[in-house]
Structures are given as structure tokens and as C-alpha cells.
Chain A
Amino acid sequence: AQKITQTQPGMFVQEKEAVTLDCTYDTSDQSYGLFWYKQPSSGEMIFLIYQGSYDEQNATEGRYSLNFQKARKSANLVISASQLGDSAMYFCAMREGRNGGATNKLIFGTGTLLAVQP
């Protein structure tokens, strides 16, 4: 069964510094996708970045980058130049390949609460 592990319940970072949020995963499937979502205190779930298992380059989206190490089964999120608005819960999630045409569900980790300090 697939599993996502986020070992950091909470993290602090100074404004303008970079921070790495850890995520490891376990799957027996060869085709899978890894996602990061941000959930502010207001509750909405915001998609940040995606990495496919066959992608050779690490994904980047603005200040977000995904450090994908396939052999170690890790998909860490790096946020550069942290801003106060980055304070939120961050979830790592995984999806295995398509299931009979349907896009498979996401399985989430337990999340990391990031606090950006001025």
C-alpha cells in the first residue's frame, strides 16, 4: 500500500530565508505522481507543485522547487525567500497510475505546519 511520511510536525523559518519540508513515500508502482499542497488557516487547499515519477528534472514553480530523489523515495519541498504569507500547513501527497481511465485519488501525509518569523 502506498504511504506518505512527513516527519516534521512543525517548522520555523526567518523571513527571506529558504526552508526545506521533508517528504518520503512508499509505493510499489512504477508510475506515480507527487504533489505538494498548501493549506492556510482559512482552510482552502492550494496546489503548489507536481513531480511525475518519470520526470528527470526537478519541478520548479516560482519560489517552490521539489527536490526529487527517486532512489531514496523522497520528494522534499524547498521554499526560497520565505514570506510571512507562506505560514501555513503543507501537505505532501502521492497518486499512483490511472485506474481504468479514472485519475487515482491522492494519499496525503500528516502535514508540516510552517511558521515564518519576521
Chain B
Amino acid sequence: AAGVIQSPRHLIKEKRETATLKCYPIPRHDTVYWYQQGPGQDPQFLISFYEKMQSDKGSIPDRFSAQQFSDYHSELNMSSLELGDSALYFCASSSDNSPLHFGNGTRLTVT
């Protein structure tokens, strides 16, 4: 069965640089979520999209933005990166109250 695809798997950036993470949800899933998981932490909700419109917003910094495109893939854009942004970033998708299915995550390291 198709799963959520995230790219890249690993990303190394320097402080103040920008990064773009991509997510391809499971086909026919109408909701996409972004989560941030710091070392030793539980995943924290950042933002979600339902049918390409932002549906909910969590603890997403103003330096981050996200969108969902017509083909339902989503991108998380991160600017002015800080050391504290180093984390595992998950994308997940679901539909009709089904469980969230997570991608393998993008591990971002900011140096």
C-alpha cells in the first residue's frame, strides 16, 4: 500500500539559511499535517491542511510557512533557521477520521 512520502530524509543547514521540506500524502487522503519532534520529545503539531486550505495551526513559528498544492502535496518552508530548529519533521495524512499515517520524517540539523 502507498505510504506518505517525505523528502529529503536528511538535511543539514547552517544558521540563518532556509529549508524546504516536501510531503506527498497517501492518495485520496484529504488532510495533511506537519509535526516537529525535538530530541527526546513528543511530536508537536505545527499546521494542517484540509482540501488544500489551512485547517488548523499549532505552535508553528512565524519563520515557518506551509502550503498544500493542487496535486495535494505539501511543503513546509523554514527561513532564518536557528539551532533550535534541529528536529525530526513529520508529515502525516488521513481522511474521514482514519488514523494519521506518518511519513518517515525529515531529520533537519542546523549547524
Measured CB to CB, the residues of A under 8 A from B are 33, 35, 37, 43-47, 50, 91, 95, 98-111
- Please pick, from B50, B95, B100, B104, the residue contacting A106 in the complex, using a CB distance under 8 A: B100
What 1/0 mask marks residues of chain B from 67 to 104 whose CB sits below 8 Å from any chain A CB? 00000000000000000000010101011111111101
Interchain CB contact under 8 A, A45 and B107: no
By the criterion CB–CB under 8 Å, are B105 and A35 in contact? no
B24 on the A face (CB < 8 A):
no
In the complex, chain A residues whose CB is within 8 Å of the CB of B43:
45, 91, 106, 108
List the A side residues contacting B105 at CB < 8 Å.
Answer: 43-45
- Interface contacts beyond A35-B99, A101-B51, A103-B94: sample of 20 additional A-B pairs, CB < 8 Å, sorted by A: A43-B104, A44-B102, A45-B102, A45-B105, A47-B99, A50-B99, A95-B97, A95-B100, A98-B97, A99-B56, A102-B48, A102-B56, A103-B30, A103-B96, A103-B97, A104-B56, A106-B33, A106-B45, A107-B45, A110-B42
Q: List 30 A-B contacts (CB under 8 A).
A: A37-B102, A43-B88, A44-B102, A44-B105, A45-B43, A45-B102, A45-B105, A46-B102, A47-B99, A47-B100, A91-B42, A91-B43, A95-B100, A99-B55, A99-B56, A101-B50, A102-B30, A102-B50, A102-B51, A103-B30, A103-B50, A103-B95, A103-B98, A103-B100, A105-B56, A105-B58, A106-B43, A108-B43, A109-B42, A110-B41
